[in-house]
Structure 1
Amino acid sequence: MDNHPVGLTIRNVSKTYPNGVEALNNISLDIPPGMYGLLGPNGAGKSTLMRTLATLQEPDEGQLFLGDIDMVNQKDAVRQTLGYLPQEFGVYPKATAESLLDYFAVLKGITSRAARKETTEVLLKQTNLWDKRKQKLGGYSGGMRQRFGVAVALLGNPRLLIVDEPTAGLDPAERVRFLNLLSELGEASVVILSTHIVDDVSELCTNMAIINQGQILLEAQPLSAVAALKGHIWRKLTDKQDLHALKQAHPVISAKLLSGRTLAHVYNPEMPGNGFELVEPNLEDVYFSTMAGHIGNQKREIAR
């Protein structure tokens, strides 16, 4: 198979569940090779889109293409070149990483024992699990389990790797190890990172989209989106009891506790008034400004 990197095209994809929940509403995206962040709150439609791309469910309407593969009508062709790490995945706790990865390699069609041995060794070393290959998976930490999931997802050199909420529940050190691993994978294939954690996207992804209530609110390059907010984000330190009045008077996009007081970020192209300080924006400001409707929302793109 030709391993030349190919992009992913999503056109007018919609999905409504039998209970009436509209999970995806006319989604269109062009996703190039590399790391792509899909950012949104829980329940935004991220997992529905991931499951659709992974051929686990069909859209009600719309088209999906991986290169020239029709993902709706050529599911077997997609599965041959797909790696998928779902939000929740089970392992056999009494199996070792080495034996279970070998088993999955058989399922993936790697029939030669020598080829499987070489493949499992490469993947366990790549995911930094080689020294723990004889350890039973039941004794793995959350981060080790996630890295094992990536090793399984990487079997067969997939052109499309889907990673759904991978860092939720990981401690800071495990999260860093996991993100470093993902960053190495985004060169030869499309890697979609679905998350509600803004820092995951800002640290890893060259392109991103923000999704909420089944709609794409913003499609952008993170650095360009942050640059476009320069001069628009102000902060003010206030007492908690004054936050409501501040929200009544100004478009507050986020507020967090700082040393017992509340630090509010406000979106405004001009100086909001006394007590406000201009701040350098970051991707969190892009996210909250988009969710509040100050940027994006008209499906315009920022400096692509």
Structure 2
Amino acid sequence: MEAHPPGLTIRNVSKRYSNAVQALTNVSLTIPPGMYGLLGPNGAGKSTLMRTLATLQEPDEGQIVLGDIDVVNQKEAVRQTLGYLPQEFGVYPKASAEELLDYFAVLKGITNRAVRREATEALLKQTNLWDKRKQKLGGYSGGMRQRFGVAVALLGNPRLLIVDEPTAGLDPAERVRFLNLLSEVGENSVVILSTHIVADVAELCTNMAIIDKGQILLEAKPLEAVAALKGRIWRKLTDKQSLPALEREHRIISAKRLSGRTVAHVYSPESPGNGFDPVEPDLEDVYFSALTGCFGQTSQQPKTEGIAL
């Protein structure tokens, strides 16, 4: 039987930049093989953590281990088995996808021409770019460029694949194609999806963490985290003028405009009163509950095995 690829362990990682910004504070995560979502708002510390895992910068303290590799002290060993798709990456607009992928394969150490040709063909087909392999990258759509980035990241069959904000700016059809591709990749590697888009994590990831201001607020399985909120999310239709008063009286986790009215979601272990309707929670409610500090702040919090509340 083939052994599963090893997971990633992060223990007490902290990072402070020279401008005194504390980007990460005692971050600890256990990331198994498969799709893992790192969810948080812009500026939460996601990209700092991704760059640290990708050996582009060192933490001030803490330990990171990929299987038997010490990520901080064995950078070259990590890079040999790492695929990294940053939030923004450049391409040579006048090169074709086939030419540039072949070039990156050489840089990755695939020197045998036949092996390289086989690898680039397989990856271009996997990312659904084979029919466009001769087209110049400057003419690619945003989604096509992202899929090309995945093809580059997958060279050498990495044990760890990091993708940072990959669906930002993609149209709905391209986003679906991209997420389907990541789902296939996640069957054989540790894949970390760093994003502020809740739906990406809800659709793809079997494990997740929520980060804000450099700290982990919640580490959970998405379905279990949603189940832990059952019976605790309430909905009320209100207006913009009444919202401040509602905020003073209740623990509002989110508010959205809908057909000229405001729909407020409130966290409460029991009914907040007249005018509130119970809501079946979803991962967006989990996200906002974590960001507003509602998880684990009541003695009636349900005990859910496997969820860090």
TM band (smaller chain): over 0.9
Shift in Å at residue 248 of structure 1?
1.2
Q: Does structure 2 conserve the Cα–Cα contact (< 8 Å) formed by 1:6 and 1:66?
A: yes
User: Following superposition of structure 1 onto structure 2, how do residues 277-292 of structure 1 map, counting pairs within 5 Å?
Assistant: 277-292=277-292
Q: Does structure 2 conserve the Cα–Cα contact (< 8 Å) formed by 1:218 and 1:301?
A: no
Letter in 2 for 1:211: I
Q: Does structure 2 conserve the Cα–Cα contact (< 8 Å) formed by 1:38 and 1:193?
A: yes
Which 4+ residue blocks in structure 1 deviate beyond 6 angstroms? Answer: none
Match of 1:253?
253
Aligned residues: 302
Distance 1:150 1:3 in 2: 24
CA RMSD in angstroms, aligned pairs only: 1.5
Letter in 1 for 2:210: I
Distance 1:301 1:153 in 2: 39
Q: Within the alignment, does 1:40 sit opposite 2:40 as a pair? A: yes
Deviation string 1:179-212 (CA, Å, 9 cap, x unpaired) is: 0100111111100000000000000000000001
Deviation string 1:80-111 (CA, Å, 9 cap, x unpaired) is: 00000000100000000000000000000101
Match of 1:54?
54
Deviation string 1:204-243 (CA, Å, 9 cap, x unpaired) is: 0000000011100100000000000000000011112111
Distance 1:134 1:3 in 2: 38
Q: Does structure 2 conserve the Cα–Cα contact (< 8 Å) formed by 1:3 and 1:159?
A: no
Distance 1:272-1:155 versus aligned 2 partners, 3 A rule: same
Q: Does structure 2 conserve the Cα–Cα contact (< 8 Å) formed by 1:290 and 1:297?
A: no
Match of 1:19?
19
Match of 1:160?
160
Distance 1:297 1:24 in 2: 23
Distance 1:130-1:301 versus aligned 2 partners, 3 A rule: farther
SS in 2 for 1:290: helix
TM-score with structure 1 length normalisation? 0.97
Distance 2:207 2:219 in 1: 8
Distance 2:176 2:275 in 1: 37
Letter in 2 for 1:8: L
Match of 1:188?
188
SS in 2 for 1:240: coil
Shift in Å at residue 4 of structure 1?
3.9
Letter in 1 for 2:30: D
Distance 2:252 2:138 in 1: 45
Letter in 2 for 1:234: W
Q: Does structure 2 conserve the Cα–Cα contact (< 8 Å) formed by 1:34 and 1:206?
A: yes
Q: Within the alignment, does 1:174 sit opposite 2:174 as a pair? A: yes
Unaligned residue ranges in structure 2 (runs of 5+): none
Letter in 2 for 1:170: L
Distance 1:238 1:297 in 2: 26
Letter in 2 for 1:242: S
Q: 1:303 aligns with which of 294, 302, 305?
A: 305
Shift in Å at residue 166 of structure 1?
0.3
Distance 2:82 2:303 in 1: 28
Distance 1:116 1:242 in 2: 63
Match of 1:243?
243
SS in 1 for 2:185: coil
Distance 1:301 1:220 in 2: 13
SS in 2 for 1:184: helix
Distance 1:3 1:269 in 2: 44
SS in 1 for 2:26: strand
Distance 1:289-1:128 versus aligned 2 partners, 3 A rule: same
Q: Within the alignment, does 1:266 sit opposite 2:258 as a pair? A: no
Q: Does structure 2 conserve the Cα–Cα contact (< 8 Å) formed by 1:217 and 1:297?
A: no
Match of 1:6?
6
Distance 1:296-1:187 versus aligned 2 partners, 3 A rule: farther
SS in 1 for 2:42: coil
Distance 1:296-1:81 versus aligned 2 partners, 3 A rule: farther
Quote the sequence identity (%): 81
Distance 2:4 2:198 in 1: 30
Match of 1:64?
64
Match of 1:144?
144
Q: Does structure 2 conserve the Cα–Cα contact (< 8 Å) formed by 1:290 and 1:296?
A: no
Distance 1:284 1:218 in 2: 13
SS in 1 for 2:253: strand
Match of 2:199?
199
Q: Within the alignment, does 1:112 sit opposite 2:102 as a pair? A: no
Distance 1:127 1:104 in 2: 16
Q: Does structure 2 conserve the Cα–Cα contact (< 8 Å) formed by 1:83 and 1:162?
A: yes
Match of 1:103?
103
